[in-house]
């Protein structure tokens, strides 16, 4: 490893950035403080030299490459984490479904553990809109911009009394609760 790369590896990105731009910042500060045009021109020249030094360019590029590499690693880690989360969710759903099916088939209402309990509970009724175009107009709210909005509360109350085209009220569904 070259001396420059070894030095870069030993510095944190913030230290590297501060070190890289120290001469440039000093030159800019001098420009801000100078009163005469000649002092200002000299400070601008120093600032240009500080920025154009080959080592500075290499340090800035190394810093950008480090952050780009970290971004790629983090994006990859996020992708892997999302895939794992989906896999874990699917596993838990499969496990719950299997236990629920077993309990329903065997007529078991509750299974007690030392710290947890499994029980099959009734799910709340669920409104399923199969085809919104078939739902009667009376269940839609009018918006100022002439946009129809389905009023699910009114639809749900009506569904409890009668059938309505385009939707179904699912009743007495079960779900497995884990506490």
Residues in CB range of 149: below 8 A, 6 or more apart: 140, 141, 142, 143
Secondary structure letter of residue 123 according to DSSP:
P
Whole-angstrom CA distances from 117 to 48, 111, 120, 121 are 72, 6, 10, 12
Where do runs of H (alpha helix) occur along the chain? 3-10, 13-33, 37-52, 54-106, 152-159
Mean pLDDT of 116-120: 92
124-174 pLDDT per residue, tens:
889 989 999 999 888 988 777 767 788 899 998 898 888 888 888 888 888
Residues in CB range of 179: below 8 A, 6 or more apart: 116, 117
23/137: higher pLDDT: 137
Q: Which residues of 28-53 are buried (b: 16+ CB within 10 A; e: fewer)?
A: bebbeeeeeeeeeeebeebbeebeee
Can you give the pLDDT at residue 14?
Answer: 64
61-105 pLDDT per residue, tens:
777 788 889 899 999 999 999 999 999 999 999 999 999 999 999
Can you give the pLDDT at residue 59?
Answer: 73
29-41 pLDDT per residue, tens:
665 666 555 666 7
Can you give the pLDDT at residue 8?
Answer: 46
Compute the distance between CA of residue 60 and CA of residue 50 in angstroms, rounded to an integer: 12
Whether 118 has a pLDDT exceeding 90, the answer reads yes
Can you give the pLDDT at residue 26?
Answer: 66
Give the neighbor-by-neighbor strand order of the sheet with 174-178: 110-112, 117-122, 174-178
Can you give the pLDDT at residue 148?
Answer: 79
């Amino acid at each position: 490893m070259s001396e420059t790369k070894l030095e870069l590896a030993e510095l944190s990105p913030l230290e590297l950035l501060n070190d890289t731009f120290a001469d440039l910042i000093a030159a800019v500060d001098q420009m801000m403080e100078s009163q005469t045009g000649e002092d200002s021109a000299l400070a601008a020249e120093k600032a240009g030299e500080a920025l154009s030094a080959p080592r500075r360019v290499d340090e800035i590029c190394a810093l950008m490459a480090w952050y780009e590499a970290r971004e790629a690693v983090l994006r990859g880690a996020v992708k892997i984490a999302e895939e794992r989360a989906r896999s874990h969710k699917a596993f838990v759903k499969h496990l719950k479904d299997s236990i629920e099916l077993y309990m329903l088939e065997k007529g078991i209402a509750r299974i007690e553990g030392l710290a947890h309990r499994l029980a099959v509970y009734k799910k709340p009724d669920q409104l399923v809109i199969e085809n919104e175009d078939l739902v009667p107009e009376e269940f839609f709210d009018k918006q100022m911009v002439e946009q129809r909005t389905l009023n699910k509360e009114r639809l749900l109350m009506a569904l409890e009394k009668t059938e309505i085209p385009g939707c179904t009220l699912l009743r007495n569904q079960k779900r497995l609760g884990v506490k």
